[in-house]
Amino acid sequence: MENGKISAQITKLADLLEFQGANSFKIRAYRRGARVIKDSTDSFATLVTNDPSQLLEIDGIGKGVAEKIRQLLQTGEIAEINEILETVPSTVLDILRIPGLGPKKAAALYQELNIQTLDQLQAACEANEVQQLKGFAAKTEESILDGITIAAAANQRIYWSDADDLVQSLRTHLQTCQAVRQLEFAGSYRRGRETVGDLDILVDSADADTVMAHFCDYPDLQQVIVQGDTKMSIRVGNSFQVDLRVVETDAFGAALQYFTGSKDHNVELRGRAKQLGLKINEYGVFRINGDNETYLAGATEADVYTTLNLPCFAPEIRESRNEFAWAEDNSIPELITIDQIQGDLHMHTTATDGKASIEEMAAAAKGRGLKYIAITDHSQRVSVANGLDAERLLQQWKEIDRINARQSDDFIILKGIECDILENGSMDLPDQVLAQADWVIASIHFGQKQPGQQITDRITGALENPHIDIIAHPTGRLINRREAYAVDMEAVFQAAKENSKLLELNANPVRLDLHDIHCAMARERGIPIVINSDAHKITGLDVMKYGIKQARRGGLTADHIANTKSWAGIQSLLSS
């Protein structure tokens, strides 16, 4: 069982206990445990198989959580969840997520009015039934209705790539305001999370009123949610929330640090400040002397961190995972940057479902500073994409030979294929064809719902095939759309390692597969990652930057990424 699944079950238990009004200490312990599991780069399943007593040695895993993990791994479920669900419908979990509606009120709604779903709750509020209950007023009813709208909108975390487009547009708009001295986008956007819940804008200005008035003139403004003296929240476009805060110059760095988060990173930072006799908040770092506070730093983020004897962490690693340990032993990784990428080893052409020819893709890649590409069209099984059979593939390779021969520079077009791993584990093209390729990607497009062992065997089997170099989008997940395959990634990592194979980080912003924790796992296990665009048209090559963000979140440096090397360098990785 994957860590993500274990974590989700523990969270579900915490949610249900909260609904029942259980001991808050216990609930917090479960939530903390769930987070530790989700962020861990070690497989909890493996850990428990090897030595269950190790669980208790992990920071953040208490006795209660350890017991639930063991039970879940041994029996496939947590008995307590089933027990609670005998008396509580699982849909109440949605109700619990409405802002301002605590577990107590949710329980009252369920007990008194038998409200089990958001729709029922909305209907009851609209019929003014809720205000009749003890502890509920007409106002509560209104705020619940607002909350339902917000909860629906809050469920829509947008792709980082869409957030980035919105950021460019908001930046362009705000920069024309004379009163703006400095402007930054903080929050999960700056940390490069794969999805963004809302945007957090910080402006350095002495004139908040002018800035806020200008903000309201944003062409795509939908609604002003709240406005105060120095901060306001609006909705733009399709109901997406944007927060704006205006601060003074000497607090700009402190505010940027604070609102970049993550929350857990900030909690750790506050603790460290305290140990140094300092205080940190969104206004600055202060020395405490009795009742007096002296401002020490706050103008820049670097000042803030330096005052706490810490390096100015890249935003992508501010998740309270490894960054503080790295700082302690001076081993902060020098995270990958896009200019270090030399090649792109996954793209499609008009031969299958791409929109550009081989030469057009090559010219576009060259124009982006790349030194080599692999043409990797689909294999025959993917008939909706006009996948290639052996004959058409061999023809395409001849054409690539001709194009390469015509090139006057050192740019290399590699003869590749994205070959499907069929439902029964065999490859979609014969070995003798694959043997003639420069570069073979194996991937799964069919039988994605197979049970864990079966689909894992397909992938590890492909990794054992000597003609295959890499697995594309190894988990198959589509963010916000489709769950990962039931694949055992620990087994995939092991097979990649044993066979000196590579794994892809597919940079498509909807895939970002591997995700950040898997990137960190590959790093620890010494498996090189290739960041690929999987472009289906010329502009598809530009998604590389999203893959770079994700890799940075996984703590990867140029050393961990195979396509920072020359093509010869990659070949030597594969034969090592």
- Residue 267 touching ligand DGT (CB under 6 A): yes
Establish how many alpha carbons lie within 13 A of residue 408's alpha carbon, considering only the half-sphere containing its beta carbon.
Answer: 0
Q: Which of 4, 187, 354, 554 binds Ca ion (CB under 5 A)?
A: 187
- Residue 198 touching Zn ion (CB under 5 A): no
- Residue 428 touching ligand DGT (CB under 6 A): no
Of the listed pieces 26-34, 180-188, 348-356, 395-403, which binds Ca ion according to CB under 5 A? Answer: 180-188
Q: Which of 20, 239, 262, 494 binds ligand DGT (CB under 6 A)?
A: 262
Coil vs helix vs strand at 559:
helix
Query: For residues 15 and 418, which CB has a smaller minimum distance to Zn ion in the complex?
Result: 418
Query: For residues 428 and 534, which CB has a smaller minimum distance to Zn ion in the complex?
Result: 534
Beta strands in 450-511 (DSSP E): 470-471, 502-506
State how far the alpha carbon of 251 is from the alpha carbons of 100, 135, 212, 298, 552, in Å.
Answer: 30, 41, 18, 5, 28
**501 — phi, psi (to 5°)?**
-110, 170
Q: State the minimum distance, in angstroms, from the CB of residue 346 to Zn ion.
A: 6
Query: For residues 301 and 418, which CB has a smaller minimum distance to Zn ion in the complex?
Result: 418
Site string (414-433) toward Zn ion, x via CB under 5 A: ----x---------------
- Residue 263 touching ligand DGT (CB under 6 A): yes
Of the listed pieces 15-23, 185-193, 246-254, 428-436, which binds ligand DGT according to CB under 6 A? Answer: 185-193
- Residue 281 touching ligand DGT (CB under 6 A): no
Query: For residues 187 and 540, which CB has a smaller minimum distance to ligand DGT in the complex?
Result: 187
Q: Which of 184, 243, 301, 323 binds Ca ion (CB under 5 A)?
A: 243
- Residue 344 touching Zn ion (CB under 5 A): no
Q: Which of 187, 354, 528, 547 binds ligand DGT (CB under 6 A)?
A: 187
State how far the alpha carbon of 365 is from the alpha carbons of 291, 346, 395, 540, in Å.
Answer: 62, 12, 22, 10
State how far the alpha carbon of 269 is from the alpha carbons of 264, 318, 497, in Å.
Answer: 9, 10, 37
Query: For residues 265 and 467, which CB has a smaller minimum distance to ligand DGT in the complex?
Result: 265
Q: Is 42 exposed, middle or buried (0-12, 13-18, 19+ CB in 10 A)?
A: middle
Structure tokens that stand for 82 in this block: 């089933």
Q: State the minimum distance, in angstroms, from the CB of residue 301 to Zn ion.
A: 39
Cα 18 from Cα 27, distance rounded (Å): 7
Which entry of Zn ion, ligand DGT, Ca ion, none binds 534, CB below 5 to 8 A by partner kind?
Answer: Zn ion
Which entry of Ca ion, Zn ion, ligand DGT, none binds 262, CB below 5 to 8 A by partner kind?
Answer: ligand DGT
Which entry of Zn ion, Ca ion, ligand DGT, none binds 259, CB below 5 to 8 A by partner kind?
Answer: ligand DGT
Cα-Cα-Cα-Cα dihedral of 440, 443, 446, 448, to 10°? 160
Q: Which of 141, 194, 198, 516 binds Ca ion (CB under 5 A)?
A: 198
Of the listed pieces 76-84, 123-131, 187-195, 518-526, which binds ligand DGT according to CB under 6 A? Answer: 187-195
Structure tokens that stand for 158 in this block: 């947008």
Cα 435 from Cα 438, distance rounded (Å): 8
- Residue 192 touching Ca ion (CB under 5 A): no
Q: At what angle do helices 452-464 and 489-498 cross, to 10 degrees?
A: 10
- Residue 323 touching Ca ion (CB under 5 A): no
Footprint of ligand DGT on 191-220 (CB under 6 A): 193, 196-198, 200
Q: Which residues contact 253 (CB under 8 A, 6 or more apart)?
A: 297, 298, 299, 300, 301, 302, 303, 304
Q: State the minimum distance, in angstroms, from the CB of residue 356 to Ca ion.
A: 36
Pairing of strands 372-375, 412-420: parallel
Beta strands in 337-469 (DSSP E): 343-344, 372-375, 412-420, 439-443
State how far the alpha carbon of 175 is from the alpha carbons of 88, 201, 204, 215, 244, in Å.
Answer: 51, 12, 12, 10, 14
Q: State the minimum distance, in angstroms, from the CB of residue 184 to ligand DGT.
A: 12
Residue nearest to Zn ion (CB): 534
Q: Which of 94, 200, 323, 534 binds Ca ion (CB under 5 A)?
A: 200
Which entry of ligand DGT, Ca ion, Zn ion, none binds 267, CB below 5 to 8 A by partner kind?
Answer: ligand DGT
Cα 76 from Cα 201, distance rounded (Å): 44
In the 8-state DSSP scheme, what is residue 410?
A: S
Footprint of Zn ion on 524-543 (CB under 5 A): 534
- Residue 2 touching Ca ion (CB under 5 A): no
Q: Binders of Zn ion: how many residues, by CB under 5 A?
A: 2
Site string (134-173) toward ligand DGT, x via CB under 6 A: ----------------------------------------
State how far the alpha carbon of 552 is from the alpha carbons of 19, 195, 404, 462, in Å.
Answer: 37, 15, 33, 28
Looking at residue 388, its amino acid is L
Of the listed pieces 60-68, 81-89, 253-261, 427-435, which binds ligand DGT according to CB under 6 A? Answer: 253-261
Q: State the minimum distance, in angstroms, from the CB of residue 265 to ligand DGT.
A: 8
What are the DSSP calls for 67-110, one per residue? HHHHHHHHHSS-HHHHHHHHHS-TTHHHHHTSTT--HHHHHHHH
Structure tokens that stand for 20 in this block: 């029942």
Give yes or no for a contact between 218 and 234, defined as CB atoms under 8 angstroms apart.
yes
Q: Which residues contact 150 (CB under 8 A, 6 or more apart)?
A: 98, 99
First to last CA, the chain: 31
Q: State the minimum distance, in angstroms, from the CB of residue 388 to ligand DGT.
A: 41
Of the listed pieces 188-196, 470-478, 483-491, 536-544, which binds Ca ion according to CB under 5 A? Answer: 188-196
Cα 527 from Cα 270, distance rounded (Å): 36
Which entry of ligand DGT, Zn ion, Ca ion, none binds 377, CB below 5 to 8 A by partner kind?
Answer: none
Q: Which residues are at the interface with Ca ion (CB under 5 A)?
A: 187-188, 198, 200, 243
* Residues binding Zn ion (CB under 5 A): 418, 534
Q: Give the binding site for ligand DGT (CB under 6 A).
A: 187-188, 193, 196-198, 200, 258-259, 261-263, 266-267
